[in-house]
Amino acid sequence: MFEKVLFNYQDLEIRISDYANEDILYLLNHTVIGSEGGMRYSLRNIEPRIKGYGNKIRFVSLYKKNQIVGCIGACYRLTGEEELKVYCSFMRYLAFQSSYQTDLRNEPEKRMHEKIQREGSFKQKILELFSKPHILNLYEVSESDRHIMYAFVEGTNERSKNLISQAGYEHVRSFQTIAFSRFSPERHSAVTLLDEKEKPLMKELLSDFYRGYSLFTTEFAFYNNKYYVLKEDGEIKAGVCAIPSEYRIYNIPGVWGWVIMKVLPRLPVYRRLFNPDKFRFLVFEAIYCKGGEEKKLEELLESVCAIEGYNTALTWVDDRSSLFEILKTGVDTGALGRMLNAKPGLICYRFINFSDREKDLFFEAPAYISAYDFS
């Protein structure tokens, strides 16, 4: 493990590390994600998820007078196939102390102007880190390599959209949150855990299913050996990895958001699906479905909920992909799925050492979204 100072300026300092120290963990565990008026929530399983990234995560932290005020994580991976094959860094765990965000508002006008001038050039250095992955001590990354740094941004979060725009990120694709729920999920006998010997076959099936997707990776497909399959006559018809997760929800926008937040928790049956103070759900990762077997996929997802002891699951899908069509038209996602009407999120890329023709491929290809990155 390492931690070092990248650069400093007066009382401000940027540090980089390949692990989450106590300062970072405290900040992340006390951060509410989202913007006012939009979806707002906090994560409840941060430390084990960070461990899941292994040695492929770097944290960039901002310190002021030796006190942490902000951080962001960069998760490194090889994604895609053929022309879409490229090393990427997924940006997550963006967090700032609320007191730092409001510092300038509380300053007299003259002092505020001085602060803006003093910290402006330092801010530029921070933004440069969003476009220079070789600075992050990542393996096999040099300054001349092609690389994509990408992030998921809530469509209504103007502050985050403005930040990544300043860092040179482009809105390339959009995604939707898909909820799957059952009041009393039933297990189907054809559903079992994937046998260890079948992992190579399952990887091939997943690679074929997501051929033509950008950002595709099987890195978390078999996380904790919880990949379930539905088989008939020895053939895998559908598959999914189930990752238990938990949020605390503070707000869901819109009329249905109000119903979900204020009404459902008061109804005993619906409370099985959603409890904002302790929202327990499965994350569905690496979904697979053989062509024409959408109903088998529905049986699989329900069975996994029953086996794992959950009533609700979430996944995130490019809204112009074949998987999105399967989930929206071929699968009954249940009561919560019908109520949830979230606005599309943005998938934003920072292309490094790409030609315009190479960029165009990523604008045209649907993006694979690893649900692990939301867990």
DSSP 24-81: HHHHHHT--BS-TTS-EEEES-HHHHHHHTTTSEEEEEEEETTEEEEEEEEEEEEE-S
Ranges of each domain in the chain: 3-175, 176-362
pLDDT of 112: 43
Give per-residue pLDDT as tens, 81-117. 999 999 999 999 999 887 655 544 454 544 544 554 4
Mean pLDDT within 32-60 = 92
Domain 176-362 has CATH 3.40.630.30: yes
Share of the chain above pLDDT 90, in %: 74
pLDDT of 343: 83
* Per-residue pLDDT at 319 exceeds 80: yes
pLDDT of 123: 62
Of the listed ranges 152-156, 282-286, 346-350, 352-356, the least confidently predicted one is: 152-156
Cβ neighbour number for residue 75 with a 10 Å cutoff: 22
Report the distance separating Cα 30 and Cα 42, nearest Å: 8
Report the distance separating Cα 239 and Cα 288, nearest Å: 5
Share of the chain above pLDDT 70, in %: 92
pLDDT band at 121 (very low <50, low <70, confident <90, very high): low
Give per-residue pLDDT as tens, 65-85. 999 999 999 999 999 999 999
More confident residue, 1 or 195: 195
Mean pLDDT within 231-255 = 95
Let me know if the fold of 3-175 is the same as that of 176-362: yes
Report the distance separating Cα 204 and Cα 198, nearest Å: 10
Type of residue at 328: K
pLDDT of 97: 84
pLDDT of 313: 98
Mean pLDDT within 185-205 = 98
Contacts of 317 (CB under 8 A, 6+ apart): 175, 176, 178, 323, 324, 327, 369
Mean pLDDT within 146-165 = 89
**Can you read off the two tokens belonging to residue 278?**
């302790």
Of the listed ranges 37-41, 258-262, 366-370, the least confidently predicted one is: 37-41
Domain 3-175 has CATH 3.50.50.60: no
Contact criterion met (CB below 8 Å) for 266 and 251: no
Report the distance separating Cα 11 and Cα 144, nearest Å: 33
Contacts of 255 (CB under 8 A, 6+ apart): none
Buried-exposed string 283-303: b where 16+ CB fall within 10 A, e elsewhere: bbbbbbbbeebbebbbbbbbb
